[in-house]
Amino acid sequence: MLMPPLTYIHASEAARTTAGGRGVGGGKCPNGMCPAAWYSMREFVESLAKGEGNFYDGWMKNPMSAMISCNDGFRPFSFYIEVTE
């Protein structure tokens, strides 16, 4: 079975999703993203949007980034999330 192509979620959509630190619609999953993947990364995206970072105590070269793995054991994906602005 072929997997569907990956969808790039632009930072502006993630920022709209996490506006005000509470998330629009309670941290609603961005359009086109797998809900399981969003559940795995939502807290990290919201923290980065609020200016927080250094989740791994110096292990990441960029402290305003996170390496997240989706919790779907049948179709695992890893996501590198970083602040770009």
In a domain, 62, yes or no: yes
Question: What pLDDT, on the 0 to 100 scale, is given for residue 8?
Answer: 53
Span 13-40, average pLDDT: 65
Q: Which three-class secondary structure state does DSSP give residue 21?
A: helix
Indicate left, alpha or beta for 27 from its phi (over 0: left) and psi (-120 to 50: alpha): left
In the DSSP assignment, the letter for residue 48 is H
CA distance 85 to 83: 6
Question: What pLDDT, on the 0 to 100 scale, is given for residue 16?
Answer: 53
Range of the domain at 55: 30-82
Q: pTM of the predicted model, to two decimals?
A: 0.67
In a domain, 55, yes or no: yes
Q: Which of 50, 42, 33, 25 is nearest to 81 (CA)?
A: 42
Count the domains in the chain. 1
Question: What pLDDT, on the 0 to 100 scale, is given for residue 40?
Answer: 87
Question: What pLDDT, on the 0 to 100 scale, is given for residue 73?
Answer: 79
Question: What pLDDT, on the 0 to 100 scale, is given for residue 19?
Answer: 47
Size (the chain), residues: 85
Residue 25 has pLDDT above 60, yes or no: no
Say if residues 79 and 67 touch (Cβ distance below 8 Å): yes
In a domain, 78, yes or no: yes
